[in-house]
């Protein structure tokens, strides 16, 4: 059985490969996954179907995975049509499968920084 960090990393790698049946082995059908920005909630099966049916043309790369026991944090970059999307995902893994998670998605460069922070930046 894979350790929790390997479960999450392998799940994303299988998504990149479009190996949906293999990815399904790593997510409990009863899992509860939430998107913070939109408030959407998915069970494991719905989460997999949503990702499978997402419009094609995307490529993802796991940037980092950190685990503490059954809790796993992952930073994932998704590129599609010249736009970069970032996911900070926090998951609970039990018995070799993701059973819970929350994903925080942002679009790189989509939000202008507030003017008051300008004096503190280095770019």
- pLDDT tens, 1-22? 899 999 999 999 999 999 999 9
Exposed, middle or buried, 65 (CB in 10 Å: 0-12/13-18/19+)?
buried
- Dihedrals φ, ψ of 7, to 5°? -60, -50
Task: Round to whole Å and give the CA distance between 88 and 103.
Answer: 6
Q: pLDDT tens digits, residue range 19-78?
A: 999 999 999 999 999 999 999 999 999 999 999 999 999 999 999 999 999 999 999 999
What are the structural domain ranges in the chain?
4-120
Domain 4-120: give its CATH code.
Answer: 3.10.450.50
What is the pLDDT, as a whole number, of residue 49? 97
Kind and range of the H or E run holding 60: strand 58-68
């Amino acid at each position: 059985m894979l350790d929790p960090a390997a479960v999450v990393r392998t799940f994303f790698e299988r998504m990149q490969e479009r190996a949906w049946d293999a990815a399904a082995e790593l997510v409990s059908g009863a899992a509860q996954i939430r998107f913070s920005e939109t408030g959407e909630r998915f069970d494991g099966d719905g989460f997999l179907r949503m990702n499978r049916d997402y419009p094609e043309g995307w490529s993802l790369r796991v940037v980092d995975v950190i685990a503490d026991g059954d809790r796993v944090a992952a930073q994932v970059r998704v590129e599609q049509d010249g736009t970069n999307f970032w996911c900070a995902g926090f998951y609970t893994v039990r018995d070799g499968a993701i059973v819970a998670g929350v994903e925080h998605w942002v679009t790189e460069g989509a939000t202008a920084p507030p003017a008051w922070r300008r004096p503190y930046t280095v770019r």
